[in-house]
Structure 1
Amino acid sequence: MSENDQNLISGEISQLWANYMNDSMAICMLSYFKENVEDQEVLPIIEYALELSESHIETLTNLFQKHNFPIPIGFTKEDVNLQAPRLYSDMYYLYFLQFWGATGLNGYGLSLLLAANEEVIQYFSKCIDESKELLNRTSNILLAKGAFIKTPYIPIPEKVDFIHKESFLSGWFGERRPLTTIEIANLFANKQRNILFQTTLIGFSQVVKDNDVSKIIKKGLEILKNNIDTYDEKVRESHLPAPEPWDTLVTTSTTSPYSDKLILFHLASLINMGIGLYGTSLGLSPRTDLSALNIKIISKLLLFAEDTTSIMIEKGWMEQPPSAVNRKDLADNK
């Protein structure tokens, strides 16, 4: 491979930079989890996840230095208070890490698709294997504790059948058909994610100091409550159970373990992940009312993301992502 082929391309830079930011945040969060965890079965999972993020930062730093790329600031020990009282329960840690592992599989899969540099390909391939291991370890503990949240059971079909009526797509008028298993899975997963996000923001709302950040978190909680109520309605139309909220996974602490900068960045990350996951649901929901629901939620989240980003910029907390050259500025300032 030629020297030019070894240079980092834009797709690789974007993913490596985002990975550095996310892993530097994860180190802060997981270090705090490690200080507060009580269940000795949960501790090794937190330690494993923390080791992964620390090794990622080391690998990414070496890659950036090799290619003379400026190392992001990200988040440091200044953004975490390891002496802060416990804010979340051990069960929250497990659900958080289960989601983190699943999200890693999706994110690193896209990163690998964009990679051409051999070192970068090897790095993202390793990250996929690690995310799978994190997800499996976490899910196994949840299963052993009887806390794994399963999608509803449905009867096994007696035979193969085909769709004969266009009413299969209908969701606006008349009698709606029962949900397909794909639609059930997406509604269920979306509600479960919303409950995790809601639990996270309830904790943040108790400890955040900045008034602007506090307001945007409260707005996020309103959006999440509306989403959860809507998902409940759709699932129960087909007489299926839905996951219950996890309010009890948050303690009464009002001392923040994290900087407001980290809290707002984490909120922005959750919004971005949510938008991508709702987009996936949109493509897998033939019923028109479900498609409209996902479009509505995505539209709300896009506006919410804009508000969140505006606050980050206003506070001077948003690092400039790597960008293409502004040719107009070069021409104007020559």
Structure 2
Amino acid sequence: MAQKHALSSSELGTLWMTYQEKTMKQRMLEYFIEQADDNRAKEIMQNTHMKIINYLEDIKNILKNEGAIIPVGYTEKDVNIGVPKLYDNMFDIMFLRLLQEISVGLHSLHLSMAYRKDIVLLYKELTAFTQSVYDECVDYLQANDVLPCPPAVSMPKSVEFATGTNYMSGFNLFSEKRALNTVEVAHLYHAIETNILGMQLITGFAQVANEPEVKKYFIKGKELSKKIVTDYTQLFLQSDIQPPSTWGANATDSKVAPFSDKLMMYCTSLLCSFGLGSNALGTAFSLRTDLPVKLVSTAKDILTYGHDGGKIMAKNGWLEEPPQMQDRNDLTK
């Protein structure tokens, strides 16, 4: 049997990232499972939690066999299971759906960076598992009538081609902006939907954060999410499109922290990275000239916010460093 190649730098890096994200999800699920009062929601989260533990063991074994140190990630110290509910019913599955959405993107990207057969297989399995849980979350939320759907649209009856540059008009004060097309609506709707949930998540974080600097950071993040929702909703209303809304998934009035500041900061950082990626796609596929400018401005705000969070994490010793490449300059001194 042919010997396996050593892990490449890319494979080691993506396994490290996966370990961080999965241990965070493991700890958050432990809290939400304990708080769940709906049997079906609890079952979805328990099954997901069990599978995550199995995949974490797979990653540990791969790293041990390569002689690599196991990351710290997020441990029992980062979760307080018995505290009061920080979020209303339905938030747990709505949040799990968002985390699965992020994971699908990460696993697909990491799959394209893997070369060794066992690592490729791991990311294939993770992708299939993550998609399966995502589907369960969607089915559950739709059955409970809390997942809003994107706006309806009349089906096209003929193929149309843009003529001239008017199709891209967005800045001319003397010409009317065209209505948003369905591709633009898709990306804007997704941004509004995720920021509404993110705003509730970070509102809860702000209520329970221990460090004053962290609390202030979360309040700033809540205002950023609110601004994004307001700005993008305005674009919808200009085209007479109804923005998304839901009755569930709000923060309660609890001020007792279920998670450590370290975990909540990492979770927020992960959402910032996801927001930047989604924003970049929206910018690339928007053909009305005012939209990319708006999206780029939003991306700048998210990037600045995420960078500020990184500095807070480093300052408090919460920023676990990824494995480093050898510093050849240092080695030759």
Name the TM tier (shorter chain).
over 0.9
Distance in 2 separating the partners of 1:285 and 1:43: 40
Instruction: Work out the CA distance in 2 between the residues paired with 1:205 and 1:277.
Output: 24
Superposition pairs of residues 211-222 of structure 1, within 5 angstroms: 211-222=212-223
Q: Which amino acid aligns with 1:287?
A: R
Question: TM-score scaled by structure 2?
Answer: 0.96
Shift of 1:107: 1.1
Residues 249-302 of structure 1: per-residue CA shift (max 9 Å, x gap): 211111000111111111111111111111111111111111111111111111
In structure 2, what is the equivalent of residue 177 of structure 1? Answer: 178
Q: Is the 8 A contact 2:146 2:246 kept in 1?
A: no
User: What amino acid maps onto 1:232 in structure 2?
Assistant: T
* Matching residue of 1:243: 244
Q: How does 1:47-58 map to 2 (within 5 A)?
A: 47-58=46-57
Q: Identify the residue that residue 188 of structure 2 maps to in structure 1.
A: 187
Query: Aligned residue for 2:166?
Result: 167
Residues 1:289 and 2:264 are matched in the alignment: no
User: How far off is 1:248 after superposition?
Assistant: 6.0
Give runs of aligned pairs for residues 255-294 of structure 1, distance below 5 A: 255-294=256-295
1:229 counterpart residue number: 230
Q: Residue 29 of structure 1 aligns with which residue?
A: 28
The CA deviation at 1:247 is: 7.9
Consecutive unaligned residues in structure 2, runs of 5 or more: none
Aligned partners of 2:83 and 2:256 also within 8 Å: yes
Task: Give the secondary structure class of the aligned counterpart of 1:6.
Answer: coil
Post-superposition offset of 1:2 = 5.5
Conserved 8 A contact 1:202-1:250: yes
Q: What is the DSSP-based 3-state SS (H/G/I as helix, E as strand, rest coil) of the residue aligned with 2:170? A: coil
Separation (CA, whole Å) in 2 of partners of 1:62 and 1:248: 37
Q: Which residue number corresponds to residue 153 of structure 1?
A: 152
Q: Which amino acid aligns with 1:102?
A: E
TM-score, normalised relative to structure 1? 0.96
Letter of the structure 2 residue corresponding to residue 34 of structure 1: I
Specify the SS of the correspondent of 1:16: helix
Q: 1:46 is aligned with what amino acid?
A: M
TM-superposed CA distance for 1:103, in Å, is 1.8
- Residue 292 of structure 1 aligns to which amino acid in structure 2? V
Amino acid at match of 2:168: L
| Distance (whole Å) between structure 1 residues aligned to residue 193 and residue 131 of structure 2 | 19
Cα deviation code 1:182-213 (max 9, x no counterpart): 10111000000111110100110111110111
C-alpha distance in structure 2 between counterparts of 1:211 and 1:2, whole Å:
55
| Aligned: 1:73 with 2:77 | no
> What CA deviation, in whole Å up to 9, does each residue of 1:217-268 have, x standing for no partner?
1111111111110011001111011013768621111100011111111111
| Whole-angstrom distance in 2 between the partners of 1:290 and 1:207 | 36
Q: Is the 8 A contact 1:195 1:245 kept in 2?
A: no
Residue 302 of structure 1: aligned partner: 303
Root mean square deviation, CA, Å: 1.4
Specify the SS of the correspondent of 2:280.
helix
Runs (4+) off by over 3 Å: 245-248
In the TM superposition, 1:190-205 aligns within 5 A as 190-205=191-206
Secondary structure at the residue paired with 2:71? coil
In 1: Cα distance, 2:169 partner to 2:189 partner: 20
5+ residue gaps, structure 1: none
Counterpart for residue 40 of structure 2: 41
The aligned length equals 331
- Cα deviation, 1:48-104, whole Å, max 9, x if unaligned, reads 221222112111101110111110011110111011111112311121111122222
